[in-house]
């Protein structure tokens, strides 16, 4: 893989890997078991630029490219996928749409605190009756002078329990169908902004996923991104970027499972030899390694296209589909290599198995990605 990286990218990888091994790996099991959001790590990530990876330096960001972004997300996710999830969502579907569609006033108001990690961002699209069908959202924002009165019930909000700044999808024109959807930036602390109970999830347990409800919330009209009716365009652009982030997260999970599987296979003795000597185990490890490398290459391709300012929607969907399904398969094989111990919380592969499963659902399900890929090919 080094063949495809510049010296700058290799330095980024070495730096973030050392940080993850030092600061994240020692607490990865504890934060999963206790469902604890590790503020002490997040604050350090903010200072290192990991929460403003692609934000410009003049706005407090690290000014890195998309390849650096996926390297950072992969390495953090390899140590603890829930923290990688926080960084991916914060960077790609919270900070990015403000940078890409916001005006200078909005940049100055929101970006520096997000880029430095002083505030955490969230992406609020999913509702009880709207998920893959984003056009079905029911949240409303009614213009009232220089404000919008917003009512919304958003569910499964990643970072929701700690988010200060929420990219909120709402209907500004209920009669206009999909063209009536807009994006408003809502801030925690605004009267009527209510954070729900943290979800008790199977995986990603260190991320405070929860619902966010807005009840007659008065939000300044100046917080509208772009203009009314551009919600779906903003959402699709953000999700393309988000998909390469989640794909790199999935690669990180798969890489961790592969390495743990190799280590255990070399140590576990059965029939008087390490199980790594048995062909059935060797076949699994060969398949795992091949699939991880394949997925990583697809993620790199999508990121390179983004850096080259070329269309990458199809490639992002392919990378997300391949990487998320690879993470599930590789984690499953790692559990199998560990045998009964793989089903025990004493070993990391049990966590990878749980964490991998959700990557096939959020930022677009595998079924949605197959639709996106097919439409790009057939149109």
**Catalytic site positions:** 363
**Cα 148 to Cα 168: distance, rounded to the nearest angstrom:** 12
Strands 147-157, 121-124: pairing is unpaired
> Residue 286: CB partners within 8 Å, gap ≥ 6?
none
Give, as one character, the DSSP assignment of residue 167.
E
**DSSP SS3 for 144:** strand
Residues in CB range of 327: below 8 A, 6 or more apart:
250, 251, 253, 254, 257, 295, 352, 356, 359
Tell me the Cα Rg of the chain. Answer: 21
DSSP string, 202-226: SS-TTS--EEEEEEEEEEEGGGB-S
The position carrying tokens 């990876």 is 53
In angstroms, the CA 287 to CA 333 distance is 9
């Amino acid at each position: 893989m080094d063949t495809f990286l510049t010296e700058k990218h290799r330095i980024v990888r070495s730096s973030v890997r050392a940080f993850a091994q030092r600061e994240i790996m020692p607490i990865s099991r504890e934060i999963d078991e206790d469902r604890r959001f590790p503020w002490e790590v997040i604050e350090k990530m903010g200072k290192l630029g990991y929460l403003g990876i692609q934000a410009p330096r003049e706005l407090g960001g690290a000014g890195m490219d998309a390849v650096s972004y996926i390297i950072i997300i992969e390495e953090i996710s390899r140590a603890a996928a829930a923290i990688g999830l926080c960084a991916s969502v914060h960077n790609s579907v919270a900070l990015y749409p403000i940078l890409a569609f916001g005006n200078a006033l909005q940049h100055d108001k929101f970006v520096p605190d997000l880029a430095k990690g002083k505030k955490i961002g969230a992406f609020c699209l999913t509702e009880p009756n709207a998920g893959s069908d984003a056009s079905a959202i029911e949240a409303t924002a009614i213009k009232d002078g220089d404000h919008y009165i917003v009512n919304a019930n958003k569910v499964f909000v990643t970072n929701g329990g700690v988010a200060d700044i929420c990219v909120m999808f709402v209907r500004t024109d209920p009669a206009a169908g999909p063209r009536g959807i807009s994006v408003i930036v809502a801030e925690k602390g605004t009267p009527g902004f209510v954070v729900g109970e943290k979800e008790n999830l199977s995986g990603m347990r260190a991320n405070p996923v929860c619902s966010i409800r807005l009840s007659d919330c008065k939000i300044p009209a100046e917080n509208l991104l772009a203009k009314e009716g551009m919600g779906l365009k903003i959402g699709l652009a953000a999700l393309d970027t988000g998909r390469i982030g989640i794909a790199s997260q999935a690669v990180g999970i798969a890489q961790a499972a592969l390495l743990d599987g190799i280590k255990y296979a070399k140590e576990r003795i059965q029939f008087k030899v390490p199980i790594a000597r048995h062909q059935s185990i060797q076949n699994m490890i060969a398949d795992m390694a091949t699939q991880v490398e394949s997925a990583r290459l697809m993620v790199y391709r999508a990121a390179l296209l983004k850096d080259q300012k070329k269309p990458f929607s199809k490639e992002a969907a392919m990378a997300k589909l391949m990487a998320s399904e690879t993470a599930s398969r590789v984690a499953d094989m790692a559990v199998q290599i560990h045998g009964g111990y793989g089903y025990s919380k004493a070993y990391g592969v049990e966590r990878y198995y749980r964490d991998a499963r959700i990557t096939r659902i959020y930022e677009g399900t595998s079924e949605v990605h197959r639709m996106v890929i097919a439409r790009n090919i057939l149109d």
